[in-house]
Structure 1
Amino acid sequence: MLINKKTLSDQIYDVLKIEILKREIPFGSKLVNRTLQQRFGVSSSPIRDAINRLNQDGLVTSIDKSGATVVDFDYDFFLEVNEILLYVINTGVKLSFEKSDTEEVCKHLEKYLLLQEKYIGTDEFYDYDYKFHKTFINYSKNSRLKKLFKEYNVLHEMLVRNYYEPRTFKIQEDSIKMHKKMVEAFRKKDYKLVMTLTEEHYKGAEEIFKKILEQREKKLEEDDCYD
């Protein structure tokens, strides 16, 4: 018999996080404590705990007695998150090279690379993309770097999941190609090249995201003209 060891707050947090990431709960919307209590059939305590964890992930802001607000964003918001995540990962690359066995790191990178190829075009792709980059963080053997990576990757993933949809498959293919180059460079002990490739990877994301937002804004303006 399987026993669910997750607490109520864990389960509520998981549900709300997925709904925010998939934009089933829209950006900028209000999470109301009383409404959530009724929905999940629980007291206020597990709701508050779940909201506090979402706040730690950076997914909600403006917590008060009535609830919290789901984070909203613009291009500058994405840019700041992307910049921080880039420097965190590159720090992980450098430290993992200095502190860990190169072949062991590559073994784990290749495992997640194969899983990315297997699940390209699906939601699971993002999970293995996260685990690919997190490999450098894990092998950096720096607990504070792990905390930073987790926080900013959640925000990054939220935006990527929701705004890369029109070109998802091509973007994921390009991501896999870049990851292969990174593994090859790391195996050759050229960690500086890995860092350069990582920067190219994340700077490319900035350009893609900017174009997608511009296209969406243009479409909204055109729709307004027809109304």
Structure 2
Amino acid sequence: MTMLGDEADTTGAAGCRDVVEGAQTLGDRVYDQLLDAIMTGEIPLGAKIGENDLAQRFGVSRGPLREAIRRLEERRLVIRTAHVGARVVEMSDTSLLELFFVREAMEGMAARLASQRMSDAEIADLERLLDAHGESVADREHYDQRDHDLDFHYRIAKGARNDMIEGLLCRDLYQLLQIYRYRHSAVPGRAQRALLEHRRVAAAIAARDGDLAETLMRRHIVAARKILEGLLAGTAATAVPHPELK
């Protein structure tokens, strides 16, 4: 967690710093709790954010809670409308699937560019990240990648060294997809399959094979979209790999 000064009166200055740091720490805690509640579905998509109820639930004043809500608005996970207030974002099934088509094209190109532009050190870090992911999903059905630098797709988007791709993926699409990714990764077998697909993409990038990196990333996103389509239709089952990924 990120932790967030003239000194005429030493005692007073120290006291001021304690208050600021304490308030920031509390704000981070409330933000994390609210994000977890949204990600896990405890607060449903489209649900109204009731400040009074949440302040009571988290045992905080409305100040830190409002700051947490503001941060979620910046990440497009909460929207605010006149006469309604703040609500958790909700997208139609059609809009969500359309995002996956855009994501397939953009992430495929990001993987191609990353194979050309990521340094050897960055690729080594990417492989170590996947090793850590392997430990985290060994006995779980969730593949949780909420922190930016700990997210495989975020690393690839950054490694593409393209401001347009990075902006659209990291600051727009990923914020909207994050909730859905968390929930849909619980499909039996999908976490382990997704990790394998990530490793194949990383290997293609390490080999500096842009064609293969783009192809594998596209197939990875297509697999996720097909699972989502099954979930939306109520027919999702265990993840089935693409035959060429076996």
CA distance in 2 between partners of 1:164 and 1:200 (Å): 16
Structure 2 residue 92 is matched with structure 1 residue 71:
no
By how many angstroms is 1:40 displaced? 3.9
| SS of residue matched to 2:219 | helix
Query: Which residue type is aligned with residue 159 of structure 2?
Result: Y
1:100–1:163 CA distance, 2 compared to 1 (3 A): closer
CA distance in 2 between partners of 1:122 and 1:128 (Å): 16
Structure 2 residue 175 is matched with structure 1 residue 157:
no
Judge conservation of contact 2:111–2:217 (CA < 8 Å) in 1.
Answer: no
1:86-165 matches, cutoff 5 A? 86-101=104-119, 103-120=120-137, 121-122=139-140, 125-127=143-145, 131-142=151-162, 145=166, 148-165=169-186
Q: What TM-score, normalized to structure 2?
A: 0.72
Q: Unpaired runs of 5+ in structure 2?
A: 5-20, 237-246
186, 193, 197: which is aligned to 2:216? 197
Q: Unpaired runs of 5+ in structure 1?
A: 218-227
Spell out structure 1 runs of 4+ moving beyond 6 A.
none
Bigger radius of gyration: 2
Identity of aligned residues (%): 25
Query: Which residue type is aligned with residue 116 of structure 1?
Result: H
Q: What TM-score, normalized to structure 1?
A: 0.77
Aligned residues: 212
Judge conservation of contact 1:88–1:149 (CA < 8 Å) in 2.
Answer: no
By how many angstroms is 1:151 displaced? 4.0
User: Aligned Cα RMSD in Å?
Assistant: 3.0
